[in-house]
Chain A
Amino acid sequence: MSEDIKTFTISVYTENNIGLLNRISAIFQRRHINIESLTTSQSEIDGVNRFVIVVNVTKTNAEKIVKQIEKQVETIKAYYHTNEETIFTESCMFKIKSELLFDEPQIQNIIKESNTRIVTVNKEFFVLEKSGRRHEIESLRRDLNVFGIMQFVRSGRIAVTKEEMKITELLMAFNNQ
C-alpha cells in the first residue's frame, strides 16, 4: 500500500542560530527529499525565527521529518500542514524593457487585470511585482514571456496557518518552570 505524495508546508520555530539552517537542510538531504522552497524570517516573537519549508512527501514522511527537526536542540517547535490548512503566497518580480510598455499596449492590460504592481519605471526598464498563488504567477509569466522578460525571480512560499501556534505559551512555560 503506497501512500500519496502531497505538498506539505513545514513551519519551524527556532532560536536564531547560524548553524541551524545546516542541521535542518541535512535532515532533508539525508533522505533525498527535494526542498521545493525554503524561507526564513523573524517570527511574531522577538528573537524567534520561523522557517517555512515546502516539500512533496507522504504524510508519514512529513511526520518523521518534523520529529527529526524538533529533535534539534535549537528548534522550539515544528509543524506540518497541508495546503488546505494554511494560507500561503509567493511573490515574484519581472524586469522588462520600458519601450514595450508603449509599443505593446497589451502589457498594460495584463498588468491591470492581474493586479500586478509597478515598482519602478525608468528609461530602460520597468519592474513589476506580484504576490499570489503559483498558478497566478505562472500565468502572468507566460503572458509576459511573449513580449520578452529581461529578468524574472520568484520567492519561496510564505504561509501562516489556520490553526493557532502556541509558541508564546510554550516559551512562557519554560520561563515559569
Chain B
Amino acid sequence: MLRIMKTQTINNKQEVASKTERITGSEAIIKCLIAEGVDILYGYPGGAIMPVYDELFKFQDQIHHVLTRHEQGAAHAAQGYARISGKVGVAMATSGPGATNLITGIADAQIDSTPVVCITGQVPSHLLGSDAFQETDIVGISTPVTKWNCQVTKSEDIPEAIAKAFYIAKSGRPGPVLVDITKDAQFGELDFEYKKCTGIRSYSPVPKTKQLAIDAAAELINKAKKPLIVWGQGVILGEAETELKTVVEKAGIPAAWTILGASALPSTHPLNVGMVGMHGNYAPNKLTNECDVLIAIGMRFDDRVTGDLNTYAKQAKIIHFDIDPAEIDKNVKTDIAVLGNSKESLAMLAEALTENAHDSWLQEFKKLYDIEFESVINEDLNPTKEGLTMGEVLKQINMETKGNAAIVSDVGQHQMIACRYADFNITKSNITSGGLGTMGFALPAAIGAKMGAPDREVVAIIGDGGYQMNIQELGTIFQTKVPVKIVVLNNEFLGMVRQWQQLFFDKRYASTEMTNPDFVTIAKGYHIDGKRVTKREELADAVKEMIASKDSYFLEVCVEKEDNVFPMIPAGASVSDVRLS
C-alpha cells in the first residue's frame, strides 16, 4: 500500500504544505477533517476505531460527533446533511459490522450522487486476512457502491488518502468514498502536514463544455415548436438553479423534473409543469411522447422516468446535458450531447437561445393538468370521502410552512404523494431516496438535514413501514435535541407494495399488512412531544402545533388504508400509457 500511495503522490495535485508536526494517525484523521471544513460527523464507536474517538474527545470544541443509534443511521444522516448543504457529509464506523452497516447508505449515496466520506476502522494490519475479530473486507464489499475507496495501513499515508477522499467525493459527479484505516495506522506516528487535493491525473471530473455542442443544441431548441425540458439533480448539484430559470424563461420552454430534481425551480413557476416518471404528473409524462425536442439536463433517464424505452420520446430529437460521459447514450440515444458542469453549460445555452414563447404548446400541459386535477388531484387534496388522504396532510403542511420547508421523505406511497404535492420555494428542499429506494432513509436523513441547515424547517414525511426501519434514531433526536418534525402517514400497510398487489396480483396482500405499535407512546418514551390524528377536523390544528413547536415533534396521521397513488405508469409500460385510475 505504501508503494501505491507513494506513486499517487506524484500523480496528484496538492496545495502547498503548511509546517509539519509529529502526531498520531488518529489525531491526523481529526486534523484532516477539520482542514476540510468538517464541523459535524455522524458515527458509532467500536474497537477498531477507538483511537479516533479518543481524539474526537480532545477536539470536541472544534468538531461535533453525533452518535446515531445504528451505523445505517449515520450514513443516512451524512447524506441528509450533504443533500441540504451541498457540503460533504461524513460518517464514521468501526470495522466489521460497523462498516457493513454503512453499506446501504453508501449504495444510496452512490446511485443518488451524494458526496459522502466514510471513515472506517480496520483490524491491525498484521491481522488482515486472518479472519480476525470484527474483520471484514470492507474495501472489497464497498467497491461496487463507492466512487472510490482505499485502505490505509501506514500512518504517514493518512493525510493524502483523506485529501483524495474529499476531493473525489465532491468533484465532478459527486459520490460516496470510503477510507478504511487499520488500527495500527491510527496508533502510529507521522510528520503531519495537510495538503488539500486539487487534481488527480487519471481523473477529469468536469468535461469542458464545447461551444459547438451548445450551438447545435441552441439551433434545435430555437427552431423547436414543442420543446420540453426534463431536469434532474444535476441542476442542484451544479448549483445551476438560476441558469435553469434563465433558460426556461428566455426560451419559454415547459420544464418538468425528476424526483431528485424537485425544488430547483419553484413549484409555483408558470413554466414548471411538474414531475415526470411512474407517479409523476399526467401532462409531462404524456407530452414526453409529443414534444419535438426533449432537453434532458442533469438527469439519467432512469427506468422509473422513461418506462418502456422502445416507446420513449421516439418522435423527439434528444439533447442531453450531463457532467458524466457514461450517462450519454446509456439508456436513451441522444442527438446532441452537451458534456460539462450544468452551471456553465446552461449559462452558455442561455446566451445562444433566442427569446421565445410556446403558448399553444403550454396550453396542452394546462389541458392535461386539468384532467389530472379533476380525476386525481382534487380528491387527493380536497377529499369528499371520510378517511384522511396523504395529500391533504401535505396541503396542510404547505399552508403552515408556506412552501419553505425542506421535505425529507422515505420510500413508498407517502414519498410519491410528498413529491407530487409538497410546495417547494427553495432549492435543495426535496431530500429523498430516489435511485435506491431505501426504506428507513427519512428519519436519519432528516436529522442530518436539520443539522446541515439549522435555520430551515425540516419536515420528515414517512410511512409506517419505513419509519420502523430506523425508528431507533429517535434516540439520536432525543439526545441531540435536534428539532426535526416527524410526520408518519399511517395506513397500516406497506402501501406501495399493497397497491401493486391490488393492481397486479389480484389483491393477494401477502405480508403487507402491519400491526403497528402505539407510535405516539414510543415518541414520548424518547421525550418527543407528539399527537395522533384520526379525524379531518383535528388535522389543521395538529399540523399548526407541530410547525409552531420549537422542539422536535411527532405527528401520526391515520390515513385511509387502501388508497392508491395515481397517475401511474405501470412498470415497463410506455409514458403514453400513464393511468389516472
Taking Cβ atoms with an 8 Å cutoff, the residues of A that contact B are 14-19, 22-23, 26, 30, 47, 60, 63-64, 67-68, 70-71, 73-76, 171, 174-175, 177
Within 8 Å by CB of A19, from B7, B150, B330, lies: B150
Given contacts A19-B149, A22-B143, A76-B202, contact A70 B329 (CB under 8 A): no
Contact yes or no, A26 B326, CB < 8 A: no
Closest 10 CB pairs of A and B: A67-B326, A174-B201, A76-B202, A73-B148, A71-B326, A73-B203, A26-B144, A22-B143, A15-B202, A74-B202
Which B residues are in CB contact (< 8 Å) with A70? 325-326
Name 19 interchain pairs, CB-CB below 8 A, sorted by A: A15-B11, A15-B201, A16-B4, A19-B143, A19-B149, A47-B10, A63-B329, A64-B329, A64-B330, A67-B326, A67-B330, A70-B325, A71-B324, A71-B325, A71-B326, A73-B200, A73-B202, A74-B202, A171-B201
Which B residues are in CB contact (< 8 Å) with A26? 143-144
B7 to chain A, nearest CB (A): 5
Which B residues are in CB contact (< 8 Å) with A47? 7, 10-11
How large, as a class, is the contact surface on chain B?
A: 20 to 34
Which A residues are in CB contact (< 8 Å) with B328? 67
Contact yes or no, A68 B326, CB < 8 A: yes
Per-residue contact bits, chain B 129-157, to A (CB 8 Å; 1 contact, 0 not) = 00000000001100110011110000000
Per-residue contact bits, chain B 198-229, to A (CB 8 Å; 1 contact, 0 not) = 01111100000000000000000000000000
Which A residues are in CB contact (< 8 Å) with B203? 73-74
Given contacts A17-B4, A30-B144, contact A76 B201 (CB under 8 A): yes
Nearest chain B residue, comparing its CB with the CB of A71: B326
Given contacts A19-B150, A64-B329, A67-B326, contact A14 B143 (CB under 8 A): no
Which B residues are in CB contact (< 8 Å) with A71? 324-326
Nearest chain B residue, comparing its CB with the CB of A48: B202
- Could you tell me the dominant secondary structure of chain B's interface residues? mixed
Nearest chain A residue, comparing its CB with the CB of B13: A177
Per-residue contact bits, chain B 112-144, to A (CB 8 Å; 1 contact, 0 not) = 000000000000000000000000000110011
Name the interface residues of B1-46: CB closer than 8 Å to any CB of A: 1, 4, 7-8, 10-11, 13
Complex-state Cα separation, A107 to B149, whole angstroms: 53
Contact yes or no, A67 B202, CB < 8 A: no
Complex-state Cα separation, A22 to B144, whole angstroms: 9
Which A residues are in CB contact (< 8 Å) with B10? 47
Contact yes or no, B168 A16, CB < 8 A: no
Nearest chain B residue, comparing its CB with the CB of A17: B4
Contact yes or no, A73 B168, CB < 8 A: yes
Taking Cβ atoms with an 8 Å cutoff, the residues of B that contact A are 1, 4, 7-8, 10-11, 13, 139-140, 143-144, 147-150, 168, 199-203, 324-326, 328-330
Nearest chain A residue, comparing its CB with the CB of B330: A64
A22, A26, A30 — most chain B CB neighbours (10 Å): A22
Contact yes or no, B11 A22, CB < 8 A: no
Which A residues are in CB contact (< 8 Å) with B148? 73-74
Nearest chain A residue, comparing its CB with the CB of B173: A71
Within 8 Å by CB of B4, from A18, A60, A175, lies: A18
Nearest chain B residue, comparing its CB with the CB of A15: B202
Which B residues are in CB contact (< 8 Å) with A75? 202
Nearest chain B residue, comparing its CB with the CB of A22: B143
B139 to chain A, nearest CB (A): 6
Complex-state Cα separation, A22 to B143, whole angstroms: 8
Contact yes or no, A177 B202, CB < 8 A: no
Complex-state Cα separation, A60 to B309, whole angstroms: 16
Which A residues are in CB contact (< 8 Å) with B200? 73
Complex-state Cα separation, A63 to B325, whole angstroms: 11
Complex-state Cα separation, A67 to B328, whole angstroms: 9
Complex-state Cα separation, A76 to B11, whole angstroms: 11
Given contacts A15-B8, A67-B325, contact A175 B147 (CB under 8 A): no
Instruction: Kindly list 6 other residue pairs between chains A and B, CB separation below 8 angstroms, not including A18-B4, A60-B329.
Output: A15-B8, A17-B4, A19-B143, A22-B143, A70-B326, A73-B200
Complex-state Cα separation, A174 to B202, whole angstroms: 9
Which B residues are in CB contact (< 8 Å) with A16? 4, 7
B10, B150, B203 — most chain A CB neighbours (10 Å): B203
Which B residues are in CB contact (< 8 Å) with A17? 4
B234 to chain A, nearest CB (A): 15
A15 to chain B, nearest CB (A): 5
Given contacts A47-B7, A64-B330, A68-B326, contact A175 B201 (CB under 8 A): yes
A158 to chain B, nearest CB (A): 22
Nearest chain B residue, comparing its CB with the CB of A74: B202
Contact yes or no, A73 B147, CB < 8 A: yes
Nearest chain B residue, comparing its CB with the CB of A76: B202
Which B residues are in CB contact (< 8 Å) with A76? 201-202
Contact yes or no, B325 A174, CB < 8 A: no
A22, A70, A71, A73 — most chain B CB neighbours (10 Å): A73
Complex-state Cα separation, A70 to B328, whole angstroms: 13
Complex-state Cα separation, A14 to B324, whole angstroms: 19
A23, A64, A70, A74 — most chain B CB neighbours (10 Å): A74
Contact yes or no, B325 A15, CB < 8 A: no
Complex-state Cα separation, A73 to B139, whole angstroms: 15
Nearest chain A residue, comparing its CB with the CB of B146: A23
Complex-state Cα separation, A160 to B147, whole angstroms: 30
Contact yes or no, A177 B168, CB < 8 A: no
A32 to chain B, nearest CB (A): 15
Which B residues are in CB contact (< 8 Å) with A171? 201
Contact yes or no, B140 A22, CB < 8 A: yes
Which B residues are in CB contact (< 8 Å) with A63? 329
A47 to chain B, nearest CB (A): 5
Nearest chain A residue, comparing its CB with the CB of B140: A22
A30 to chain B, nearest CB (A): 7
A58 to chain B, nearest CB (A): 13
Nearest chain B residue, comparing its CB with the CB of A66: B326
A78 to chain B, nearest CB (A): 11
Contact yes or no, B326 A14, CB < 8 A: no
Complex-state Cα separation, A67 to B329, whole angstroms: 10
Complex-state Cα separation, A157 to B42, whole angstroms: 48
Which A residues are in CB contact (< 8 Å) with B139? 19
Complex-state Cα separation, A47 to B10, whole angstroms: 10
Nearest chain A residue, comparing its CB with the CB of B168: A73
Contact yes or no, A177 B199, CB < 8 A: yes
Complex-state Cα separation, A15 to B200, whole angstroms: 10
Complex-state Cα separation, A22 to B149, whole angstroms: 12
Complex-state Cα separation, A48 to B148, whole angstroms: 18
